[in-house]
Every structure is written in C-alpha cells, then in structure tokens.
C-alpha cells in the first residue's frame, strides 16, 4: 500500500491547507489560502513543493498560489471546467480522472454545489479524501453557485466512499456545525460522543480534522437526509432525500 504523509496547515482565521508527501518524496499542497504558514510547514520538514492542487476558485483557497509558484516553481492543478476562474493551471482535471503525486494516485470527484466545478481529491489506497468546502466535519459548504439537488448529489458521492476513508476539509467550522447538528438531532448518541471529542480538541487548540466518512454518516445531518430521525426532526418524514437535505441546508443558513 502506497504511503501518504499528510500534514494539516492552519491558515488565515479558519482555513486548512494540507501538505501531502508520497513515498517517493513528491510533495503537493491541497489549496493555498495564504503563503507564510505553508512555506513554514515545508521548511520545517526540509520539503520542496511540486504541486498545488486546488479544490475551487474562492480567494481563501487560491490566494497563496502566485507566491508559492514564484518561490518553488511548482505546478498547479485544478478543475478544467473552471480554468477561467482559477489561477493558471498546468494540469486540468475532471470527474473520473486521476492525478499522480509520485507513486500515489488520486481520483478526482466533482463535488459541485458550494461552487460549480468544485472538485475533491480521493486517494483510494491511502483511504483519504480532500473535500475543500463541500463536506465539512459535521457540516457542508453553503450552496452559493449550484443547486441544493447538485450539492446533495455531490455529498452522496462522498457518502459512498469506504467508511474508513479519512476526510480532510477546507475549514475549521466544526463547533458551529456541532451546534446546528445538536439542534436538529438532539437524541443522536454518536453525535453527542463526537461533539464531546471536538469540544475538547478545540479547547486544547487542536484541529478537528480528520474525520472519517463513517463518522460523518453517523452524525453529520447533511449526510443523513435518508435517516427517518432526521426527516422527522425537520417535519419531512418520508420525503425525498434531496428535499430533506435542502431543508436542512436552508435551516443552517438561518441558524
Ligand atoms: Zn469556498
Ligand atoms: Fe473556503
């Protein structure tokens, strides 16, 4: 099994970038919210930078690209369909394609909804997925550009990954997401368990990433639109899952 080293790099007020290093020593960063913390994390380890892999076009995910390219001469990968809104891409990607980091292979998943042409990077062997602003710990991104049906379809793709897959998301929004999740599913014991862990992590200044797909299926209301308990909590028993998801997302927007 190909090994993949993953380093969480807190950036800006609540963003995360992730350094990835495969067994051959190739290094990528998933998203570039700003330059300084990424450079510091690389230098601390004596690593170079070969690739920037972008999830979507928002400034808090791409603002550090130009500086990192100037400093390391690294290449940039991102969604082909969003090439006009992203920094200049050396490698254009789409759903179902794979991108290599040394010997490690990531499959590209289209997770449109927060933005259209938002992509996630899934390493099936290492069982890790980098979700940007699609799936968060106990939450999901706001639906800015796509439709709720599109976002539900995107989250459903992530929900079908191996439950052991670790999930590395673009922001530390966990405690806010936890408050909403508790409000809609106060009787969810798994949520209570996870919530206590996350509160302790944040109190100690630790990131709440990574979570896993399995943990999210048990506690993240935005992956639970098929669960009778969530449907009942939203007054939508028996409703279509996409409609249940949309109602949950709208309530969170106003929460
Ligand atoms: Zn975003
Ligand atoms: Fe963001």
Domains belonging to the chain, first-starting first, are 4-253 (3.60.15.10)
**What distance in angstroms lies between residue 187's CA and the mean position of ligand 1's atoms?**
31
pLDDT, one tens digit per residue, over 130-173 is 999 999 999 999 999 999 999 999 999 999 999 999 999 999 99
Of 57, 114, 118, 122, which is the active-site residue?
Answer: 114
pLDDT at residue number 238 = 96
How many other CB atoms are there within 10 angstroms of residue 200's CB atom? 11
CA distance 61 to 57: 7
pLDDT at residue number 3 = 84
CB-proximal residues (5 Å) to ion ligand 1:
58, 133
Q: How does DSSP assign 155-222, residue by residue? A: HHHHHTS-TT-EEEESB--HHHHHHHHHHH-TT-HHHHHHHHHHHHHHHTT-----EEHHHHHHH-GG
122 catalytic per annotation:
no
pLDDT at 1 over 60: no
DSSP 87: S
Instruction: Say how many CA atoms lie within 13 Å of 42 toward its Cβ.
Output: 26
CA 26 to chain centre: 22
61 catalytic per annotation:
yes
DSSP H or E segment with residue 16: strand 15-22
114 catalytic per annotation:
yes
pLDDT at residue number 2 = 58
Instruction: Say which residues have a Cβ less than 8 Å from residue 250's Cβ, sequence separation at least 6.
Output: none
Sign of torsion over alpha carbons 160, 178, 194, 225? negative
Torsion (CA) 221, 224, 227, 230 in degrees, nearest 10: 20
**What distance in angstroms lies between residue 232's CA and the mean position of ligand 2's atoms?**
31
56 catalytic per annotation:
yes
pLDDT, one tens digit per residue, over 162-193 is 999 999 999 999 999 999 999 999 999 999 99
Antiparallel, parallel or unpaired: β 91-93 and 27-30: unpaired
Of 61, 82, 118, 122, which is the active-site residue?
Answer: 61
pLDDT, one tens digit per residue, over 33-69 is 999 999 999 999 999 999 999 999 999 999 999 999 9
**What distance in angstroms lies between residue 58's CA and the mean position of ligand 1's atoms?**
5
């Amino acid at each position: 099994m190909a090994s993949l080293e993953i380093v969480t790099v807190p950036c800006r007020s609540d963003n995360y970038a992730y350094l990835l290093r495969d067994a051959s020593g190739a290094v990528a960063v998933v998203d570039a919210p700003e330059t300084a913390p990424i450079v510091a994390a690389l230098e601390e380890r004596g690593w170079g930078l070969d690739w920037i892999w972008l999830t979507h076009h928002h400034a808090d995910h791409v603002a550090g690209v130009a500086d990192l390219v100037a400093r390391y001469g690294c290449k940039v990968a991102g969604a082909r369909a969003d090439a006009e809104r992203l920094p200049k891409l050396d490698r254009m990607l789409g759903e179902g394609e794979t991108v290599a980091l040394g010997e490690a292979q990531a499959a590209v998943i289209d997770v449109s909804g927060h933005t259209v042409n938002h992509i996630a990077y899934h390493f099936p062997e290492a069982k890790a997925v980098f979700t940007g602003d699609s799936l968060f710990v106990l939450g999901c991104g706001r639906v800015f550009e796509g439709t709720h049906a599109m976002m539900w379809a995107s989250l459903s793709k992530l929900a079908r990954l191996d439950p052991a897959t670790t999930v590395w998301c673009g922001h530390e929004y966990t405690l806010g997401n936890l408050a909403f999740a508790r409000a809609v599913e106060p009787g969810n014991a798994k949520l209570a368990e996870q919530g206590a862990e996350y509160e302790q992590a944040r109190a100690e200044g630790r990131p709440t990433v990574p979570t896993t797909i399995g943990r999210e299926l048990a506690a993240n209301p935005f992956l639970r639109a098929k669960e009778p308990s969530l449907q009942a909590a939203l007054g939508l028993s028996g409703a279509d899952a996409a409609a249940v998801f949309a109602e949950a997302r709208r309530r969170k927007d106003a929460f």
